[in-house]
Amino acid sequence: DTGVSQNPRHKITKRGQNVTFRCDPISEHNRLYWYRQTLGQGPEFLTYFQNEAQLEKSRLLSDRFSAERPKGSFSTLEIQRTEQGDSAMYLCASSWADSLYGYTFGSGTRLTVV
């Protein structure tokens, strides 16, 4: 068990470019979550998967955002036509079915849009 792994750790991109982040959850966890954390704020829920099914999406997840979890393993979060307001830390977490016992978070991907 190597924990939740996120790549890349940092990403700097020009406004208007597309970016993709990857999350590898703990292998036996069937739930995977994406959160966004901006400076001085707590994490905000974006979306979550149970196995390969995307079961819930926040209103924060605009049409420019898309997340996938093919085969219920790793997940990708893509942001199209990035804007400066997308600059944030993107956190991935995973859990077993009963996530009330707490998530395991990755170290996050810090996105800076210039």
Partner 1 sequence: AQSVTQLDSQVPVFEEAPVELRCNYSSSVSVYLFWYVQYPNQGLQLLLKYLSGSTLVKGINGFEAEFNKSQTSFHLRKPSVHISDTAEYFCAVSDDLTGNQFYFGTGTSLTVIP
Please give the residue ranges that form the binding site for partner 1 (CB under 8 A).
4, 40-45, 48, 55-56, 58, 91, 93, 95, 98-108
**CB neighbour list of residue 63: distance below 8 Å, 6 or more residues apart:** none
Token digits of residue 114 = 């210039």
Give the rounded distance of the alpha carbon of 70 from its chain centre. Answer: 14
Which CB atom, from 76 or from 105, has the smaller least distance to partner 1?
105
Compute the least distance from the CB of residue 103 to partner 1, in Å.
7
Which CB atom, from 19 or from 48, has the smaller least distance to partner 1?
48
Q: What pairs with residue 44 in β-bridges? A: 36
**Pair 105, 91: CB distance under 8 Å:** yes
Compute the least distance from the CB of residue 64 to partner 1, in Å.
21
What are the residue ranges of helices labelled H in 1-108?
A: none
Compute the least distance from the CB of residue 2 to partner 1, in Å.
13
Which CB atom, from 70 or from 102, has the smaller least distance to partner 1?
102
Which CB atom, from 14 or from 100, has the smaller least distance to partner 1?
100
Compute the least distance from the CB of residue 96 to partner 1, in Å.
11
Cα maximum dimension of the chain? 39
